[in-house]
């Protein structure tokens, strides 16, 4: 899979990048800059969003809110100048609560379709010139999302299928969801060119109440010639057939007492034949050996981070690069480089400042790029864990900045609350 994706290494086509693991082999990336120096361009955005900018050739795709008009936008900018090439209004209404908004899922593209999904269920595809190809609302098609907070899950575009997961409560919450029948969690595979549903399969769980809710994204991985789609949430991690969505294997649980308030945010990450599932609320990380079938017992675990306090993640998804995992702990304020098969910590760094880090890490060009709520960027040497630079990119009053930094064509793309920066020449 990595070889197949290597031709796209200069692009960043979806949230976790060309290799689905937070890593790109881009080189000569910037190490030092400011809001006025070493920038290609800066663009004001009409509203905030946690979505990550996506880059394909000369286009930058951005999901955004428009705070003035209270709408959701799909935006395309010129990669070299920052000029808006097109901006399409997708829906009216921005949020369901004050913690997030509907523009949190990231866009994705294969160079033919630019696909945008929003937390109110709107799913829409444009061609690369902004012409609408197809679209529908998942809530209207399959039922209102049953989540305590605003739903967010970035879809996955892999090979010729668009994967969408909705892992939700089975009974209504705050008046949301079906009242006359259970709300079912599901995974669906769609044709990205037409929006046609290829298949839709249920994803059952023994979790209870909020612990059924997941804000994670499905991820592909190939091990020993078998490709599967990894899904995490509902107290379990599962592997699915890419062609049908059929469940191949399942391991669980990190929640044996079935605590009811353990929603799941980090997506699965795999490397070296190991898949990580990050349990919430300062709990451990579980490393599952891939290749199994059916319901797996704890013999499938390579390691668990029970005695390693720095290895825990409530929100950020780890990265895999240079044959190791890079695990950002938002709850413990640490970044660690970890051996995939043993869980050995090669180095661990206490992060500077008081602002929380929830954006997932980017690893590229021998560096790890992190950004906290205040939009302070921290550049870390991937080899030894030393801080190379700390660069404030936020404005006064910025908070809850969660967009992951991306890299493409020799530039870094950094989204603060209401600005997008293209860093480098």
Write the pLDDT tens digit of every residue in 214-258.
Answer: 999 999 999 999 999 999 999 999 999 999 999 999 999 999 999
- Considering the chain, what percentage of its residues have pLDDT values greater than 90? 92
Kindly provide the residue ranges of all beta strands, DSSP E only, lying in 241-340, ordered along the sequence.
Answer: 247-251, 269-271, 274-278, 285-289, 294-296, 301-304, 319-321, 324-329, 334-338
pLDDT greater than 90 at residue 95: no
Q: Does residue 5 surpass a pLDDT of 50? A: no
Task: Please list, in sequence order, all residues whose beta carbon lies within 8 angstroms of the beta carbon of residue 369, skipping any fewer than 6 positions away.
Answer: 361, 362, 363, 377, 378, 379, 380, 405, 407, 412
- The residue-averaged pLDDT of 111-126 equals 98
Q: Cα(336)–Cα(347) distance, rounded to whole angstroms?
A: 6
In this prediction, residue 425 carries a pLDDT of 82
The single-letter DSSP state of residue 210 is G
Confidence of residue 190 (pLDDT cuts 50, 70, 90): very high
Backbone phi, psi, residue 279, to 5°: -70, 150
For residues 370 and 376, what is the distance between their CA atoms, to the nearest angstrom?
8
pLDDT of residue 307: 63
- Tokens 């050996």, residue located: 289
Domains recognised in the chain with CATH numbers: 41-129 (2.40.10.480), 143-304 (2.40.128.630), 334-425 (2.40.128.630)
Residue 98 pLDDT > 80: no
Tell me the average pLDDT across 163-178: 96
pLDDT single digits (tens) 370-398: 999 999 999 999 999 999 999 999 988 78
pLDDT for residue 308 = 60
Q: What is the mean pLDDT of residues 135-150?
A: 96
Provide the b/e sequence for 2-22 (b: ≥16 CB within 10 Å): eeebeebbbbbbbbbbbbbbb
What is the mean predicted confidence (pLDDT) over 7-20? 85
3-state secondary structure of 316: coil
How far from the centroid of its chain's Cα atoms is residue 418's Cα? 20
pLDDT computed for residue 309 by the predictor: 67
Query: CA nearest 164: which of 210, 129, 222, 122?
Result: 122
Is it the case that residue 119 has pLDDT exceeding 60? yes
**Beta-carbon contacts of residue 358 (< 8 Å; ≥ 6 apart):** 315, 316, 330, 372, 373, 402
The tokens describing 200, both together, are 């839709």
Is 110 in contact with 133 (CB distance < 8 Å)?
no
What three-state secondary structure class fits 168?
coil
Asked if the model's pLDDT at residue 7 lies above 50, the reply is no
Q: What percent of the chain has pLDDT over 70?
A: 97
Of residues 330 and 425, more confidently modeled: 330
Question: Parallel, antiparallel, or unpaired: how do β-strands 71-78 and 84-92 relate?
Answer: antiparallel
302-349 pLDDT, tens digit per residue, is 999 986 667 999 999 999 999 999 999 999 999 999 999 999 999 999
Q: Strand 113-117 and strand 122-127: pairing?
A: antiparallel
Supply the pLDDT for residue 99: 75
Euclidean distance between CA atoms 59 and 92, whole angstroms: 25
Question: Residue 19 region, left (φ>0) first, then alpha (ψ -120 to 50), else beta?
Answer: alpha
Helices (H) and strands (E) in the chain, counts: 2, 34
Q: Quick one: pLDDT at residue 310? A: 75
Q: What is the pLDDT of residues 258-295, one digit of tens each?
A: 999 999 999 999 999 999 999 999 999 999 999 999 99
Rounded to an integer, the average pLDDT of 148-160 is 96
pLDDT of res. 1: 43
pLDDT band for position 179 (50/70/90)? very high
Question: So what's the pLDDT on residue 235?
Answer: 98
Using alpha carbons, list the distances in angstroms from residue 408 to 14, 17, 414. Answer: 12, 9, 12
Q: How does DSSP classify residue 105?
A: S
Q: Give the C-alpha distances (Å, rounded to integers) separating 304 from 298, 344, 361.
A: 10, 11, 21
pLDDT of 388 = 98
Instruction: Tell me the mean pLDDT in the region 178-188.
Output: 96
Q: How high is the mean pLDDT of the chain?
A: 95
């Amino acid at each position: 899979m990595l070889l197949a994706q290597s031709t796209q290494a200069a692009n960043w086509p979806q949230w976790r990048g060309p290799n689905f693991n937070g890593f790109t082999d881009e080189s000569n990336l910037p190490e030092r800059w400011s809001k006025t120096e070493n920038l290609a361009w800066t663009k004001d955005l009409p509203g905030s969003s946690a979505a990550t900018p996506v880059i394909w050739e000369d286009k930058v795709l951005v999901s955004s809110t428009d705070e003035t008009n209270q709408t959701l936008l799909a935006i395309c900018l010129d990669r070299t100048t920052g000029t808006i090439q097109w901006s399409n209004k997708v829906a009216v209404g921005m949020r369901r609560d004050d913690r997030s908004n509907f523009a949190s899922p990231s866009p994705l593209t294969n160079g033919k379709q630019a696909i945008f999904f929003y937390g109110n269920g709107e799913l829409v595809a444009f061609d690369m010139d902004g012409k609408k190809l197809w679209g529908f609302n998942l809530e209207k098609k399959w039922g209102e999302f049953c989540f305590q907070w605003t739903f967010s899950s970035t879809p996955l575009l892999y090979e010729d299928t668009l994967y969408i997961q909705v892992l939700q409560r089975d009974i209504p919450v705050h008046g949301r969801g079906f009242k006359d029948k259970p709300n079912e969690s599901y995974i669906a595979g769609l044709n990205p060119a037409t929006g046609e549903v290829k298949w839709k399969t249920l994803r059952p769980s023994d979790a209870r109440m909020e612990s059924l809710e997941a804000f994670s994204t499905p991820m592909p991985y190939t091990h020993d010639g078998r490709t599967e789609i990894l899904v995490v949430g509902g107290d379990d991690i599962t592997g699915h057939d890419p062609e049908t969505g059929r469940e191949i294997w399942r391991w669980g649980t990190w929640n044996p007492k079935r605590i009811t308030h353990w929603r799941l945010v980090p997506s699965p990450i795999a490397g070296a034949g190991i898949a990580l599932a990050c349990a919430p609320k300062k709990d451990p990380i579980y490393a599952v050996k891939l290749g199994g079938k059916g319901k797996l017992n704890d013999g499938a675990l390579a390691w668990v981070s029970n005695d390693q306090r720095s290895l825990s993640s409530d929100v950020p998804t780890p990265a895999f690069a240079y044959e190791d995992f890079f695990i950002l702990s938002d709850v413990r304020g640490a970044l660690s480089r970890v051996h995939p098969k043993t869980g050995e910590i090669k180095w661990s760094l206490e992060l500077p400042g008081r602002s929380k880090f929830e954006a997932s890490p980017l690893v590229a060009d021998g560096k790890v790029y992190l950004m906290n709520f205040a939009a302070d960027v921290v550049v870390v040497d991937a080899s030894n864990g030393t801080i190379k630079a700390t660069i404030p990119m936020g404005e006064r009053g910025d908070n809850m900045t969660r967009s992951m930094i991306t890299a493409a064509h020799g530039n870094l793309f950094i989204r603060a609350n209401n600005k997008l920066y293209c860093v480098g020449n």
